[in-house]
């Protein structure tokens, strides 16, 4: 556990510094008109974001109740009106809440360089990224589990199209360096999002709440193209003075997942989960 915390601490501190910088930029007058070229995916379990979720899980090795947290952000470093080069960094961790000790089970570290482009209603994201995964020390001690030490570099390409209140996207990934050596490289990825413009909840001048819903699907060559389905729906609270696609946003979401585990060290397990969570986008 101490080893894991030594790694998580600096990454979390860096993520919080980035988040504070992003928040300051959104408050600056000259940045108020800017928008993200490629909006973050709502239902992708590995999209860099800040969130905390409580999940009821069904699987062979994971606990029946999990706490899942993410600390991450995508921030632009260069760009123009229709394109942007960014850095995306995130840490994802799962805790076994069925144990009194709430063992840290798995942590995934992810960093990438997305290049995004917009043309009318069409947006494209090309990204090179690295991910490494590690088992928690307490979980290993209590279950006598052995580390897989999943680590890989991958190239991702996604194309999205906005259609009124909908967004449809699709593409895939190719893992060109990986451990373990027998990891098969292909991933197909697609999804659909719904974000209507109508306001469901208004908190004076502080926030406006809107419905969001999304389905995300990934098919893994390593699992004989088995599909992992992720679905979310709930309320998104945003800054009423900002455009819907910009500014800070809180979300309260119901979450469901079934398919190959999205937790690195357990990537060859099959899991199903249902729960709820809160998230923050800056």
For the domain that residue 125 is a member of, what is the CATH number? 2.40.230.10
Give 205's pLDDT tier (boundaries 50, 70, 90): confident
Mean pLDDT of the region 108-125: 97
One-character DSSP codes across 185-231: -EEEEEEEEE--S--SEEETTTEEEEEEEEEEEEEEGGGTTEEEEEE
Ramachandran class of 102: left when φ > 0, alpha when ψ lies in -120 to 50, beta otherwise:
left
Phi and psi for 3 in degrees, rounded to 5?
-60, -45
For residue 183, pLDDT over 80 is answered with yes
The SS3 of residue 114 is strand
Q: What is the mean pLDDT of residues 257-269?
A: 96
Q: What is the pTM of this model?
A: 0.85
Q: What integer pLDDT is reported at residue 244 of this predicted model?
A: 60
pLDDT in tens, 214-243: 999 999 999 999 999 999 999 999 888 776
By the 8 A CB rule, do 84 and 36 touch? Answer: yes
Give the Cα separation of 227 and 258 in Å (integer): 8
3-state DSSP percent of the chain in helix, strand and coil, to 5: 15, 55, 30
pLDDT at 246: 65
pLDDT score recorded for residue 163: 95
pLDDT of residue 263 exceeding 90, the answer is yes
Rounded Cα distance, 9 and 138, in Å: 18
Domain count along the chain: 1
Mean pLDDT value across the chain: 88
Read off the pLDDT band of 8 (50, 70, 90).
very low
- Residue range 185-213: average pLDDT? 91
Which residues, at least 6 apart from 26, have a Cβ–Cβ distance to it below 8 Å?
Answer: 32, 239, 242, 246, 247, 248, 282
Higher pLDDT, 280 or 2: 280
- Could you report the per-residue pLDDT of 53-71, keeping only the tens digit for each? 999 999 988 889 999 999 9
- Residue 185: per-residue pLDDT: 97
* The pLDDT value given to residue 242: 72
At residue 31, does pLDDT exceed 60?
no
How large a percentage of the chain has pLDDT more than 70? 86
Which residues have CB under 8 Å from 5's CB, separation 6+?
none
pLDDT reported for residue 203: 85
Return the number of other C-beta atoms located less than 10 Å from residue 216's C-beta: 23
CA-to-CA distance for 147 and 133, rounded, in angstroms?
Answer: 9
12 compared with 279, residue with greater pLDDT: 279
Give the whole-angstrom CA distance, residue 26 versus residue 28.
Answer: 6
Return the pLDDT at 15: 41
More confident residue, 248 or 103: 103
List pLDDT tens digits, range 150-181.
999 999 999 999 999 999 999 999 999 999 99
**Rounded distance between C-alpha atoms, residue 22 and residue 208, angstroms:** 20
Residue 14 scores a pLDDT above 60: no
The answer to whether 263 touches 273, Cβ cutoff 8 Å, is no
Using the predicted structure, report yes or no on whether residue 7 has a pLDDT greater than 70: no
Q: Is 256 left (phi over 0), alpha (psi -120 to 50) or beta?
A: beta
Q: Which residue has the higher pLDDT, 73 or 202?
A: 73
Which domain range does residue 58 map to?
Answer: 2-281
């Amino acid at each position: 556990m101490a080893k894991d915390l030594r790694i998580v601490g600096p990454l979390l501190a860096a993520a919080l510094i980035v988040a504070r910088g992003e928040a300051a930029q959104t408050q600056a007058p000259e940045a108020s008109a800017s928008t993200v070229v490629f909006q973050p995916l709502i239902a992708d379990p590995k999209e860099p974001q800040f969130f905390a979720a409580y999940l009821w899980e069904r699987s062979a090795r994971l606990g029946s109740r999990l706490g899942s947290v993410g600390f991450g952000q995508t921030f632009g470093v260069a760009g123009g009106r229709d394109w942007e080069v960014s850095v995306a960094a995130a840490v994802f961790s799962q805790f076994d809440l069925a144990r009194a000790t709430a063992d840290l089970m798995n942590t995934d570290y992810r960093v990438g360089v997305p290049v995004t482009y917009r043309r009318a209603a069409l947006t494209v994201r090309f990204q090179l990224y690295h991910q490494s995964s590690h088992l928690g020390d307490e979980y290993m001690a209590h279950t006598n589990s052995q580390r897989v030490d999943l680590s890989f570099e991958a190239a991702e390409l996604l194309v999205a199209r906005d259609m009124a209140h909908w967004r449809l996207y699709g593409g895939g990934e190719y893992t060109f360096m990986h451990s373990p050596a027998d990891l098969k490289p292909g991933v197909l990825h697609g999804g659909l999002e719904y974000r209507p413009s109508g306001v469901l909840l208004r908190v004076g001048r502080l926030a406006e709440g809107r419905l969001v819903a999304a389905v995300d699907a990934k098919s893994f060559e390593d699992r004989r193209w088995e599909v992992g389905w992720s679905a979310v729906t709930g309320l998104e609270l945003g800054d009423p003075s900002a455009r819907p696609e910009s500014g800070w946003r809180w979300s309260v979401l119901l979450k469901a997942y079934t398919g190959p585990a999205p937790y690195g060290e357990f990537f060859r397990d099959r899991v199903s989960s249902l729960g709820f969570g809160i998230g923050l986008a800056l």
